[in-house]
Amino acid sequence: MSDIPENAAEHCPGTQSNDAGKASACAGCPNQNLCASGATQGPDPAIELVKERLAEVKNKLLVLSGKGGVGKSTVTSMLARAMALRYPEKNFAVLDIDICGPSQPRMFGVLNEQIHQSGSGWSPVFIDENLSLMSIGFLLGSQDEAIIWRGPKKNGMIRQFLSEVDWGKLDCLIVDTPPGTSDEHLAAVNYLSQTGNWGAVVVTTPQEISLLDVRKEINFCKKVKMPIVGVIENMKGFVCPKCTAKSDIFPATTGGAAGMCKEMNVNMLAELPLDPQISRACDQGTNFIEEFAKSDATKALNQAVDGIMNFFQE
């Protein structure tokens, strides 16, 4: 049996408390010794650095999922491409903070690109004139290299991406996160919550096993006071590439994402079908939205983009 108290995170005394690292809720926490030493007390100076660096970034959008395999990274890349095409006069960027599984370089077709450093910081890799990308994938010696890092090192990398990349003027920075509610998410919340307009899109699939985890993700957002832009239901029906007929591969036994959104009082942004051409485009790094501008998937993505942009303009 574990000695870690149930709901330990809810009873965390906080880094500013005299009980930091000493309370019963701290038992088993990987940061217990750090908190007990007093090294965490006082405001993190990186918060101000991030705030200054992102001063010209109007909106920050985190793409979250409760579990892996729901297509969160795919949705991130597709949303970014849709935004860049819909608003050619605006500038967008993607930050990939899925440290152990960076997939955005492949999805954008820039797998072998390298980032460069100048006096103003790291320069992101440009996909189009108004769309750029930063990922740890650009820093690896090999595509097969494993990243075996503990939480503090991951957090440090996220801090560097936010405070040392020359993002320039952006209308929206889209952040691709790993599944769950762990170190990377807490680091992103810590830094982005101080930077003005921000929010989260949560990605799910129709089946209940996915919705169970997404409910936890939504509750995480509420606990850390992260505004929820809405939910995108991915893989909502299979589209045959020959006859374009639809069939449900993952049946929604409990009302799907629409029912969950109504229950939890969050917006439903769009239902994205399971289209084999999307998978092909992501594997090859091509722009699905340009190639299949009239597809149901593109229509759903544009609907989601409208909802996101309207949210930030309110």
Displacement of CA 82 from its chain's centroid (Å): 16
C-alpha–C-alpha distance, residues 32 and 224, integer Å: 21
CB 262: neighbour CB atoms within 10 A? Answer: 11
The single-letter code of the amino acid at 108 is: F
Share of the chain above pLDDT 70, in %: 88
* pTM listed for this prediction: 0.85
* Positions in the chain whose pLDDT score sits under 70: 1-18, 25, 28-43, 314
Domains and their CATH numbers in the chain: 8-42 (no CATH), 46-313 (3.40.50.300)
In this predicted model, what pLDDT tens digit does every residue of 115-131 receive, in sequence order? 888 888 999 999 999 99
pLDDT, position 289 = 95
pLDDT, position 264 = 95
In this predicted model, what pLDDT tens digit does every residue of 132-158 receive, in sequence order? 999 999 998 888 888 888 888 999 999
Phi, psi of 124 (to 5 degrees): -70, 165
pLDDT, position 4 = 34
End-to-end, the C-alpha distance of the chain in Å comes to: 49
